[in-house]
Amino acid sequence: MDTIIKVENLSKRYRIGLQEKKADTFAQQLWNNLKAPVKNFQRIKSLGKFEEESESVHWALKDVSFEVKQGEVLGIIGKNGAGKSTLLKILSKITEPTLGRIEMNGRVAALLEVGTGFHPELTGRENIYMNGTILGMTKKEIDRKLDEIIDFSGVEKYIDTPVKFYSSGMRVRLGFSVAAHLEPEILIIDEVLAVGDYEFQQKCLGKMEDVSKKEGRTVLFVSHNMQAVSTLTKSAIILQNGKLVFNGETEHSIGTYLSLQKTKSTGFFKEDSKGIISVSLKTSEPNNVHRFNEKLIVEIVVSLSQKVKKPAVSYQVFDEFDNAIFHELFLSSEYEIDLSSDSLKIISEIENLRLYPGSYFLKVHYADNSSKTKLDMLSEICHFNVEVMGELRDYYWQPGVAKYVERGNWKIG
């Protein structure tokens, strides 16, 4: 197969704003005000200069190189902030690279964000023609594909309604349908399918398979859903902190990506007294190993120093593919709490945790329910593995997702 995309030493650099240093005393603030004109003049002089070691410089991508063959579906995986969206924007010619070069042989259609490229005042039908024209299609070509695009999108009832009245899911449906049916040689899909429902996601995955296998077109697919990446792609790259850290078969890429995530801490604790102070996990076995159908205990300590009136704490359990499995919520209105204390310790006990064997982690949220204010949030903490003793019987309906999880019991620590 011929190489259709060739990326060599691609880098993208941004200048970021720096936080002003706060003065500790009134005299220091006066001195800062006197120096302000000089500092501002120095900043203006340095706007055209980029010093690589400067704290105002951020490399969203750094020396990224890879090739994609015609008809290949390449997965691009990595954490938020890894540089995935920046890479796609450069490939889509939305932004220019700072360094490096790209060779692309073919017309590109990109679906990077919900409703990208849609004019809100135009109808769905008019936007199809506008997008097709942007992609270089003639009116006859669009006419030939129009019914197929509308039928696939499932929004035929509203096709002559202005797009500004569409829900996010409807815009995704129409946007994907336009991008996939207007015959680009290269189709770029970012994490927008997460907005659609499960049925439409499966429909999109099937279409992308057809586009690559039957029509020989190339797809770049970014997703946090490892199951979708595994199903659709044969090779994938991993981006981490703007750098390409792995390029290979999808199975090995996903294994490498997950092993990178497991280096996270198995608990959380911070010394300051704001937000979530600590989160700990008590599994049935040592080393964060949990037996199927045994009690799991989650202990969370939050600060009350922010004059919280109605503390609300919740946590979610995610599997290794970033699928949310279940959610537990604590509302202080259901308990007697001493709000004059500095902190609140709450304990969640799930007597019989029935999860498919595999790796899991927690995401914890803290809010004030009286003002509906989010106070703190922690992602990817308290990793643990579920193991099974004996037969699995019929507790599951698909790998990675429990058929049911008994509600946990909360108590004050």
8 Å CB contact between 83 and 98: no
Instruction: Please name the residue that has the structure tokens 């595994």.
Output: 230
8 Å CB contact between 336 and 353: no
Structural domains of the chain sorted by starting position, each given as residue range(s) with its CATH number in brackets: 58-261 (3.40.50.300), 268-412 (2.60.40.10)
Pairing between strand 396-398 and 409-412?
unpaired
The verdict on pTM exceeding 0.75 is no
Question: pLDDT tens digits for the chain (413 residues)?
Answer: 688 999 999 999 887 655 555 556 666 767 766 766 766 666 655 555 555 555 567 889 999 999 999 889 999 998 878 899 899 989 988 889 999 999 998 878 777 765 567 888 999 999 999 888 877 778 898 999 999 999 988 899 999 999 999 987 888 888 888 877 877 788 888 866 655 566 777 777 788 778 777 778 898 988 877 777 887 888 999 999 899 999 999 888 887 887 776 555 566 776 666 789 999 999 888 777 788 888 999 999 998 877 888 899 999 998 877 788 888 998 887 777 777 888 889 999 988 888 877 788 999 999 988 888 888 998 888 888 887 654 443 333 333 344 345 566 788 86
Non-local CB neighbours of 4 within 8 Å, separated by 6+ positions: 68, 69, 70, 104, 105, 106, 185, 186, 218
Residue 94 one-letter amino acid: I
